[in-house]
Structure 1
Amino acid sequence: MAITNKQKTSIAIILAGGAIAAAGLIFAGRGSADATTEAGHAAGAHSEDAAHGDGEHHGGPASAAHGDAARHTDGEHHETQEKEGHVEMTPAQVQAAGLTLRTAGPAHIEGTASFPGEIRFNEDRTAHVVPRVAGVVQGVSANLGQQVKKGDLLAVLASTALSDQRSELLAAQKRLELAESTFQREKKLWEDKISAEQDYLAARTALQEARIATQNATQKLTAIGVSGNAGGAKSLNRFELRAPFDGTVVEKHLALGEAVAADANVFVISDLSTVWAEFVIAPKDLDRVRVGEKVKIASTAFDGKAEGTVSYVGSLLGQQTRTATARVTLPNPKTAWRPGLFVTVGVTDSSAEVPVAIEAEALQSNGDQQVVFAVVPGGFQAQPVKTGRSDGKLVEITEGLKAGTQYVAGNSFVIKAELGKAGAEHSH
């Protein structure tokens, strides 16, 4: 029977597969034998090691290698910790950055509570000037912002009501003169037994009534701040509005030719030599602020500071704000403290000696921690700290920094910026 080419190819493939399988079995057998041999050698070696003393076992090359590896790993770990938060800077770089170095140490710190406040007019030295008579403005002498003295002319009004009151006074004065002359005549006639006593008594009564009428008319003019002497009949309606005390014209609400009412607020004059620094106190802080306590005023708009004492603490809470109002009467010789200026009021409520304190500007934030950049060889190290009391200038350090440690005070933000750059480069 003849074999075709297709059948020859199939037979060749089968024979090749069988040869491969046989070779695999031979290799597997040799591998098992080798493994068995290696296991025997390992067991023998183990037995031989067990026969040696503990000193020889621990002093072997494998143990030494293991120790070297362990020491190498610990060294890398510590090196990584030292580099974290470390900023390298040369003395020249420190000088160029303008860094100020200080030494942490004991200090006296006054505990203060800070409150937001505002400068206001001293209401005890502020006048809302009203004319007290209705009239038409004939002249205005004072301008907004002008410094005036007590008695200085502010404005001139023409008032018909004032003319009527002055006319009433003039008539009362004339009746008084007539009543006095009549009384003197009747008194002489009665003493000479020429006239009856009844005429004398009637003249005396008329004189008393004339005096009362004159006094009444004078008091009416005094109540509005004018005198009865008008300087002539043509000036009966002239009303001169004058400054009640030394101060500054801070508001002006009248113009030439304007008709003003008797109760119109035409000027506001305030003595700015003293002002009020008013601030609000939450109920939880009421026990920290008392009348007579020393306070420090600082402006948020300019580098202005002043000291004073609490002159008033409100006894009632506001219905809407639920806070109490307190104030400090502040000397203002150069009028630097202008009404409307926002300030911070620091009330000193305690003081203590602390073992470790630093300048407040040295504190920087690093994530959710407060850090101080301590001086270390070759640069600075960000040292996490915990703070205690503070008076705005000094801060107590309760944990993280020892007395005698040098740290960066001024321009410490430069170190923080360098640390941020290093962290960004490391993340990339």
Structure 2
Amino acid sequence: MKIMKSDTTLASLTLALLLTACGTDQPAGNEGAPIDEPSKAGKTAHADEGQITLSEEQITSAGVRIGRPTVGGSGTLELPATIEGDPQSTQVVSAAIGGRVVSLTRNLGQSVDRGQTLAVIESREAAQLKGEVEASRARLALAESNLAREQRLFAQRVSPEQDLIAARTAATEARIAHHQAQGQVAAAGGGGGGLNRLGITAPVSGHVIARSVVLGQTVAADAELYRIANLSNVSLSLNLQPADAGRVAPGNMVQVTAPGRRALARVTFVSPALDAQTRLVPVIATLDNGEGKWRVGEPVTASVQLSGSGGDGAVRVPLTAVQTVEGKTVVFVRTRTGFQATPVTLGDNSGNDVIVRSGLKGTEQIATINSFTLKAELGKGEAAHED
């Protein structure tokens, strides 16, 4: 009997322990206050969006270098440009008549003097023009001879005055016709060495920058043969963002740089309209090329002087400081606990820097080198938050 009583007591004890365990589990699954904790953490993470917490040791080990933006200073905008011929010193040489090109005396890059023959065109029209010159010359000679005879007869009182007047009128008309025929030949080119040939001459002195025909080619009237430019002055072709064009005005200086060469140009034109295709503002600067160091079509680097408060107060940061996070352009600004990804609006590049239009005052400390490691660290934090 004692043994049975002991067994009953042990069983009761086991049951009590099981009930106690079940009672303890029930409240654990129904705690109300701790359920709100994740939502509070979510609010904190949202408030601290873009922040990265790093110690000094972590920043150093990551190789992140800290510096400050550049404010004002050079007040320049650096961008690519192209050397072009000065539009006011460029002439197109065209064929005034149609025909076959039988002579070309100049090639690309060669110099030419004003009035020098560049090409000879052979055609029937040339023969007609030159033939009219010869015919008008003969008629003028006859009219002048008749005038001289009538003057002599009138002086001898043999011929009446009206015959003298008629002879004088005929000579004047013949002279006008001859001058007209010569003018037509001169307008077409003149010379050429034969009755059916006309020479095309250079209207200005300069260098041949384009040749559109080959020997033996048949050309129509007004077809372009050559393009001549006086390259003592050349133009610099630039394209600016509309916001930057407002800080550039005629008279601003432009430093032109190419391998082994450097010179100064001056802005002469800022277009009041955007280019229809590029949506940029065309700008032209004039560059002295008396020594012939600059070639048409050559790509160069131009540092454009900015005017007004926009240039003197421009904020610039290194290109290595700029990153893109979730489609936004950001710069990592140093805080007491690490960095803050600060959205910025950028302008044009200025050498190894880029102009910041908005988002920075210029007094901040920013990550200038290895900022991509901060971007990666920010991505890790956002991924952990999503989990």
- Indicate the larger mover: 286-295 or 151-160: 286-295
Partner of 2:7: 20
Within a 5 Å distance, the mapping from 1:237-386 to structure 2 comes to 237-272=196-231, 273-279=233-239, 282=242, 285=243, 288=246, 291-292=249-250, 294=252, 296=254, 307-314=265-272, 325-331=281-287, 333=289, 334-336=293-295, 338=297, 341=299, 348-351=306-309, 360=318, 363-365=321-323, 369-371=330-332
**Separation (CA, whole Å) in 2 of partners of 1:190 and 1:171:** 28
**Separation (CA, whole Å) in 2 of partners of 1:271 and 1:305:** 19
**Separation (CA, whole Å) in 1 of partners of 2:117 and 2:234:** 24
Partner of 1:86: 59
The answer for unaligned runs of 5 or more in structure 2 is 17-52
Which structure would you say has the larger Rg? 1
Residues 348, 19 of structure 1: alpha-carbon distance in 2 compared, 3 angstrom cutoff: same
Partner of 1:156: 120
**Separation (CA, whole Å) in 1 of partners of 2:313 and 2:211:** 58
**Separation (CA, whole Å) in 2 of partners of 1:364 and 1:325:** 25
Partner of 1:174: 138
TM-score (norm 1): 0.58
Partner of 1:62: none
| Percent of pairs with identical residues | 22
**Separation (CA, whole Å) in 2 of partners of 1:173 and 1:335:** 49
* 3-state SS, counterpart of residue 20 of structure 1: helix
- Name whichever structure is richer in helix by fraction: 1
1:140 equivalent in alignment to 2:104: yes
**Separation (CA, whole Å) in 2 of partners of 1:123 and 1:185:** 56
Residues 222, 424 of structure 1: alpha-carbon distance in 2 compared, 3 angstrom cutoff: closer
1:356 deviation in Å?
12
Residues 385 and 399 in structure 1, CA contact (< 8 A), matched pair in contact too? no
- Indicate the larger mover: 203-212 or 417-426: 417-426
**Separation (CA, whole Å) in 1 of partners of 2:93 and 2:313:** 58
The answer for unaligned runs of 5 or more in structure 1 is 1-11, 30-79, 375-380
* 3-state SS, counterpart of residue 87 of structure 1: helix
Give the partner amino acid of 1:327.
V
**Separation (CA, whole Å) in 2 of partners of 1:125 and 1:251:** 14
Partner of 1:221: 185
* 3-state SS, counterpart of residue 126 of structure 2: helix
* 3-state SS, counterpart of residue 167 of structure 2: helix
> Which residue, out of 176, 181, 190, partners 1:212?
176
TM-score (norm 2): 0.63
* 3-state SS, counterpart of residue 9 of structure 2: helix
**Separation (CA, whole Å) in 1 of partners of 2:180 and 2:98:** 20
Residues 234 and 286 in structure 2, CA contact (< 8 A), matched pair in contact too? yes
Residues 383, 147 of structure 1: alpha-carbon distance in 2 compared, 3 angstrom cutoff: farther
* 3-state SS, counterpart of residue 199 of structure 2: strand
Give the partner amino acid of 2:9.
A
1:207 deviation in Å?
1.2
* 3-state SS, counterpart of residue 224 of structure 2: coil
Compute the RMSD of aligned alpha carbons. 5.3
Deviations, residues 285-336 of structure 1 (Å, cap 9, x unaligned): 4982675252647799999886531424246x67x65958533133163225
Residues 137 and 178 in structure 2, CA contact (< 8 A), matched pair in contact too? yes
* 3-state SS, counterpart of residue 159 of structure 2: coil
- Indicate the larger mover: 292-301 or 264-273: 292-301
* 3-state SS, counterpart of residue 150 of structure 1: coil
**Separation (CA, whole Å) in 2 of partners of 1:417 and 1:281:** 27
Deviations, residues 56-110 of structure 1 (Å, cap 9, x unaligned): xxxxxxxxxxxxxxxxxxxxxxxx8415751239xxxx9xxxx9x9975985446
Residues 323 and 375 in structure 2, CA contact (< 8 A), matched pair in contact too? no
